[in-house]
Structure 1
Amino acid sequence: MSSQTTLLVTIPDQAPGLYQCVAASFNDVAPISRKIAEHCGSSDLRVYEFFGMSEVSSLQTCSMQGKWKIVTCRITIDVAETKVAPVTDELIFIARNIMMGYLKDEQQTKKETIDEDGRLHSGDCGKIDNDAFIMITGRIEELIVGTGSKTAAG
């Protein structure tokens, strides 16, 4: 959770006017919990989530005013495409802003990250709803795949 969101959730009693001063919080790094997002929403504070990684040169998805759903991020780059791998639910990105590869590490680039079609395999699992909102559901390393089914490890 971002430090701004932590502040907004943990100390509202110590700063009762805080929600009147802040219109929105942007969350990155890790998905925010539904409980925290609902808490913020109950005070008319929107928490916009975005998803990005170094390998896509910046941000790949972002929620914004008028295009927002709780605990999701939305595809906003017109020239980008996001797909979900059928068996693993891994998010796969197609766009011109995707890196060409890891410097001096062709094996890592071809092994896990960029496939033969130039698509970036993010390592993150997710779902895309009918309105193009993405919900991050986990990491590919956390899944054990066997006979067509996915099971969370541990």
Structure 2
Amino acid sequence: RQAFGKDGSGTFFSEALIMCLNGMGASRRAGKKTWRVDAASLSHGLLAVMQLIAERENLPLSCECRVQKPVSLHFPALGKVLVRVNCQIDEMKHESNITLTQGNMVKNSPPGEPRPWIESAISGDATISVKYAHFPDERIDDSLIPPVYDLELPL
């Protein structure tokens, strides 16, 4: 297989691998506070993150990860999530103003930016607000869990 990347930077696979090792490929056992990346969670994370990178770049990217053993590889400080927000109706895509809020952290994608919106966030509780000019606004309060949180609107 050929590895692809943007000119002057690493491959998309290396981007996904770093994102997963930094927390998007992490899991946490019930009742535990420690995040860990093991071979199984890394495999799951790589597949999910590569799928969103392929969508973001509009390229037919893929990867194959068959490792399922829970061998610990890394202990990131935080679990991270790749958030994907998309509007199924074209008119909604063009006028959607998307805001992701977690505590004091606010990320925004104003109308006219590419959809789906793909953004990284920290695992945990979050609010995703979507405001429209001609459609009812939406607010989703949910827990973000690695590797990917996928939201298709309208609900």
Interval containing the TM-score (normalised by the shorter chain): under 0.3
> Bigger radius of gyration, 1 or 2?
1
Q: Normalised by the size of structure 1, how large is the TM-score?
A: 0.26
Question: Relative CO higher for 1 or 2, CA cutoff 8 Å, sep ≥ 6?
Answer: 2
Q: TM-score, normalised by structure 2?
A: 0.26
